[in-house]
Amino acid sequence: MKRNWWKEAVVYQIYPRSFMDSNGDGIGDLKGITSRLDYLKELGIDVIWLSPVYQSPNDDNGYDISDYQAIMEEFGTMEDFDEMLSQAHSRGLKIVMDLVVNHTSDEHRWFVESRKSEENPYHDYYIWREGKNGNQPPNNWGSCFGGSAWQYDESRQMYYLHLFSKKQPDLNWDNPRVRQEVFDMMRWWCEKGIDGFRMDVISMISKTEEMPDGEVHGLYGDFGPYCVHGPNVHRYLREMNEQVLSKYDIMTVGETSGVTVEQAKLYAGEDAHELNMVFQFEHVDVHGKYGKWTDEKMPLSTLKETLSRWQTQLYGKAWNSLFWDNHDQPRVVSRFGNDSPAFREVSAKMLATCLHMMQGTPYIFQGEELGMTNYPFAGPEEFRDIESINAYREWCESKKVSHEEFWPCMLFTSRDNARTPVQWDDSTNAGFTEGTPWIPVNPNYKDINARAELEDPDSVFHYYQKLIALRKQYPLIVYGKYELLMAEDENLFVYTRELDGQKLLTVCNFSEQEQEFVIPEEFRNGECLICNLSNDYSREACVLKPYEAFVLLSS
Ligand code: TEU
Ligand code: CA
């Protein structure tokens, strides 16, 4: 297997709106990020993935971009960006930009032109179709954020496709001029010195020519088979690689929802000349009776099967990302751990151990290193996220399901759980802002905050710091071969890694009960690299406490 810096790196995701506010308007900004670079350096990460900071009307918090070469006013100026980049570089930190090019904002200049008329030079920058039977959308596809995926445009008298909100029209990648515009823009950022791209829903950029009705789930048809991993996606990515990516020493990660292991080898194969790694969701994906909305925990055996399949089947062939949460997912400690005061810290550390000893590039989502939890939303009026707001409307206000039934699912899975402000200290608004935060601060900030954790050597923060340091110390953690043990066990997640005769054993108790475990002989006199509780791991039989985790190196 080739060795590359981005395989050895640890990434930290910043959702700028909620990270740190420097001017009291309640919205996180670039100067706020710059002011916290020392904190990230202390944590030990190498790369920052910055969620979008471009000019945007914020229908989807910056994932609807109206100018790719300007900074969102609320976040600051291009000078602030340059300062942040140079301050990051001077600390040895890299910055990876979010590249959102499946769609733009409807306020982007290209779309403003495109909708004018069929004669306009930009007319085919987007995906336009005639309606069906006069006034019906071209097909039955539903958008990811609810409603039809088609929007009728008065001036053009046609429908345009939007797989996300109607303010996020899909670009027409089949048009070579669109590809050139995107590649030029990417080069512009690379020349500025940024260190890579995280590519938003990059697996959706190529659509089939034919756009038949999709299979109906709920109210609308599924566009998946016609828009995800479409006919030309690999051709376009190879073109992008040849014209832009291959010219710079940058890191590229493709958000590829719904990708299979086989497809991942095409996107991120060692010699595929497309992207460095995929970012896929199989271990966190839920397909329940209300789509992604559920309040059920995934059985541990399912989680183990999924994570292990990716570990073993990609080994030596392609590269994957490792993550528990991001800005679209609920908080991991609430979802897979236990966020009650008795178990929050220990289970947060256990989950971190489980993920960080695997193969792949780890991503830490802001606040995860503090063990931040889901937010106790009082009602739908507290949501800011377009997906959550629309889902409540579509499911509850239309009376398809009762509030009582649906609400626990929203509490458990809403994206806004991840988007409450980072808890910096125990002062007003957790030190995030001196104004009114754009989304409420979690009331538990007095107990859970960065200042307290920096002072406590046993904190979740210091545990993450140690995990990151171990990855740097042991190539085995980056390059070792993975093997799952005790696959059927519903409480323990146990696996080994092996490289050049050296072996690592990771044992994680996912349950609230004590569990017995027999330590394999080769590890009995081994060195304990990290553990979240104290125990004697030199004995044959060991009783693990709730959420206990440890890692042993073979002797
Ligand atoms: O998310 C893509 C994506 O797959 C989402 O539909 C995801 O499944 C959903 O958020 C889960 O609830 C990316 C961005 O990460 C997300 O924040 C954007 O809203 C979306 O693309 C549109 O740009
Ligand atoms: Ca601000």
Model confidence over 456-485: pLDDT tens digits? 999 999 999 999 999 999 999 999 999 999
**Which stretches does DSSP call E strand in 63-175?**
67-71, 94-99, 128-129, 150-153, 158-161
Give the Å distance between the CA of 521 and the centre of ligand 1: 45
Give the Å distance between the CA of 144 and the centre of ligand 1: 8
pLDDT at 267 over 90: yes
Q: Which residues are catalytic?
A: 200, 255
pTM: 0.98
**Which stretches does DSSP call E strand in 7-143?**
11-14, 47-50, 54-55, 67-71, 94-99, 128-129
- Residues 8-31: tens digit of each pLDDT: 999 999 999 999 999 999 999 999
Ligand 1, pocket residues at CB < 6 Å: 60, 63, 100, 144, 164, 200-201, 257, 292, 327-328, 387, 415
Residue whose CA lies nearest to ligand 1 atom number 16: 328
State which of 58, 96, 144, 163 you would mutate to test the pocket of ligand 1, scoring each by most atoms of that ligand within 8 A of its C-beta: 144
How far from 544 is each of 110, 339, 412, 424, 491, CA to CA, in Å?
59, 19, 28, 33, 11
Atom of ligand 1 nearest to the CA of 164: 22
Residue 270 falls in which region: left (phi positive, over 0), alpha (psi -120 to 50) or beta: alpha
Residues 235-249, mean pLDDT to the nearest whole number: 98
pLDDT of residue 399: 82
Task: Order across the sheet with 196-199: list the strands.
Answer: 277-279, 251-255, 196-199, 94-99, 47-50, 11-14, 361-365, 321-322
- Residues 421-455: tens digit of each pLDDT: 999 999 999 999 999 999 999 999 999 999 999 99
Atom of ligand 1 nearest to the CA of 413: 12
- Residues 67-89: tens digit of each pLDDT: 999 999 999 999 999 999 999 99
- Residues 507-524: tens digit of each pLDDT: 999 999 999 999 999 999
Give the Å distance between the CA of 29 and the centre of ligand 2: 5
pLDDT of residue 69: 98
8 burial via Cβ count (<10 Å: 0-12, 13-18, 19+): middle
Give the Å distance between the CA of 473 and the centre of ligand 1: 34
Q: Smallest Cα–Cα separation from 241: which of 227, 252, 256, 229?
A: 252
pLDDT of residue 323: 98
Name the band, by pLDDT with cuts 50, 70 and 90, for residue 397.
confident
- Residues 332-391: tens digit of each pLDDT: 999 999 999 999 999 999 999 999 999 999 999 999 999 999 999 999 999 999 999 999
**Which stretches does DSSP call E strand in 154-267?**
158-161, 196-199, 216-217, 220-221, 251-255
pLDDT of residue 400: 87
CB-based contact 370:329 (threshold 8 Å): no
Q: Smallest Cα–Cα separation from 535: which of 554, 519, 512, 555?
A: 519
pLDDT at 130 over 90: yes
- Which tokens sit at 133? 């039977």
Residues 154-163, mean pLDDT to the nearest whole number: 97
Whole-number Å distance between alpha carbons of 377 and 380: 8
pLDDT at 217 over 90: no
Residue whose CA lies nearest to ligand 1 atom number 9: 328
The pair phi, psi for residue 452, each rounded to 5°, is -60, -40
- Which tokens sit at 537? 């791991």
Whole-number Å distance between alpha carbons of 115 and 288: 37
State which of 328, 384, 415 you would mutate to test the pocket of ligand 1, scoring each by most atoms of that ligand within 8 A of its C-beta: 328
Percent of the chain scoring above 70 in pLDDT? 100
Q: Smallest Cα–Cα separation from 300: which of 442, 455, 129, 487?
A: 487
Residues 206-211, mean pLDDT to the nearest whole number: 97
pLDDT of residue 542: 93
Give the Å distance between the CA of 437 and the centre of ligand 2: 9
- Which tokens sit at 287? 């397909």
Q: Which ligand is nearest to the CA of 162?
A: 1
Q: Smallest Cα–Cα separation from 369: which of 386, 398, 337, 345?
A: 345
Atom of ligand 1 nearest to the CA of 257: 4
Q: Which residues lie at CB < 5 A from ion ligand 2?
A: 21, 23, 25, 27, 29
Strands 321-322 and 361-365: parallel
Residue whose CA lies nearest to ligand 1 atom number 6: 144
Residues 32-42, mean pLDDT to the nearest whole number: 98
Atom of ligand 1 nearest to the CA of 387: 12
**Half-sphere exposure at residue 450, Cβ-oriented, CA atoms within 13 angstroms:** 20
Residue whose CA lies nearest to ligand 1 atom number 18: 63
Atom of ligand 1 nearest to the CA of 144: 6
Mean pLDDT of the chain: 97
Whole-number Å distance between alpha carbons of 369 and 66: 33
**Half-sphere exposure at residue 425, Cβ-oriented, CA atoms within 13 angstroms:** 9
Of residues 509 and 539, more confidence is placed in: 509
Give the Å distance between the CA of 438 and the centre of ligand 2: 10
Tell me the H-state helices in 254-368: 261-268, 300-314, 332-335, 344-356
Q: Which ligand is nearest to the CA of 18?
A: 2
Give the Å distance between the CA of 256 and the centre of ligand 1: 10
Residue whose CA lies nearest to ligand 1 atom number 11: 328
